Every structure is written in structure tokens, then in C-alpha cells.
Amino acid sequence: MTFSGFEKTDLINYPGLVASTVFTCGCNFRCPYCHNPEFVVQGSDETYFGETYTEDDIFSYITKRRALLDGLVISGGEPTLHKGLPAFIARVKELGLKVKLDTNGSRPEVLEDLVGKGLLDYVAMDIKAPLEKYVLLGFEDTEAISRSIGFLKTSGVDHEFRTTCPRKLLVREDFEKMSVLIGKDARWYLQPFNPGKTLDPSYRDVSSFSAEELRDIAHSLGMPYVVVR
């Protein structure tokens, strides 16, 4: 595998652990608010023209510093698009590191396979919007999204759901629909949208639900594990 980004020390993206984070190339969504458009529009690891990192680059670093690292986060782009993902994770696990996968949930069969093989310790799945709005994100197979959600809820693997909250895409009523989709006991992180660099230039001036508004929404949902980041 070839990676489009590598954060050597990450104290945020793996809850409670010191990790490194790698970013894969290419995504099968076209979320207009995406803040990593360079990882999306250039397609795959074979057509990405920015700075890249090989598996050797990654393993050279994490092997030398594995005494200081607890885990590795694999983000993107969408990691489950890559055939080499299982073998890559297996190598990481051989070093004794925990693995967290960030995914959009579009390939439940890959998610099920990775969990079934004991390769994942934590999964963070994006809940972009209510299912009927996924077409606005360039993805129409909402059955795959539902299947991934259902699988995670019964898999036994530690997981979270998360939603970025731009006003142009979401309205307040959408949060109730998403809460029904993931279940009232879900660990769900709501995060404000930060305009600036976005896939769709029209989103660069779109406002976000404020943290105060999101806390009010979380309270109104009556879900005990909703957190505003």
C-alpha cells in the first residue's frame, strides 16, 4: 500500500492512546465539506500525485518507536477500498500495536472480515447524514451503510460513530433521524464543521452548528453517550 499522509505522533485520534496515523489515497464518497480533497479527487494510490509514504516508510518508523507507541490509526480517504489493507494491518499487529480504523462504512464486507480476523481494536464510522441524504455525498448504496452500523453494534469491537455538522447539509431534524439509525445507546461524537479547504468550494463559506447548539441537540436526543468535540 501507498499512503498519502503520515502523522507520526497523534495524541487525539485514538482515544486514550499514543498513536501514529496513516492516510490512504482515494475515496468512494464526494462529501462537499471534505477537508482532505487531495486524498479524494486523485483517486487511488496509483494516481495520487502528492507526497506519498510506502509501507517500508511506515514500518521503519513505528518499529523503531514501538516502545513509545500504543497504536496505529488508519484513516483516509477510505481505507477499505484497498486490497492490501488486511495484510498491512496484520503486520502492524505483529508489532504489538493496537489498530483503529476510520471508515465511511461503505464496504461492510471488508469491515466484517477485518473484525472477524481479529485485526481491529477500535472502529470509528462516520455517520454523514440521514440515509436519504447520502446521494448528496455521491454515494447511493445506503444498505451498505445500514449493514455496517448493524454489524458494529453487535460485533463486540470497541467503536464510535461521528458526524461533522455543516448547516448546508444538515438541519436540526436530521439528528433525530441519525439517532434512530445508530440507536440510543451509541457512542456518538458530534463535531463542528470547520470551513476553509473543502472539496466543494461553495462550502468554504458555510457555517457550522456551534458547539453550544450541538450540546443542546445532544441533550434533546436523550442519548447518554453523545459528546460534542
Q: Give the whole-angstrom CA distance, residue 186 versus residue 62.
A: 32
Mean pLDDT along residues 115-128: 98
Q: How confident is the model at residue 196 (pLDDT cuts 50, 70, 90)?
A: confident
Residue 42's pLDDT is what?
A: 56
Task: Please name the amino acid found at residue 78.
Answer: E
Q: Give the whole-angstrom CA distance, residue 2 versus residue 205.
A: 33
Please name which of 85, 123, 78 lies closest in space to residue 104, comparing C-alpha atoms: 78
φ, ψ of residue 54 in degrees (nearest 5) = -90, 170
Mean pLDDT along residues 23-34: 93
β-partners of residue 105 are none
Please name which of 172, 86, 87, 161 lies closest in space to residue 122, comparing C-alpha atoms: 161
Domains in the chain, CATH or no CATH each: 2-228 (3.20.20.70)
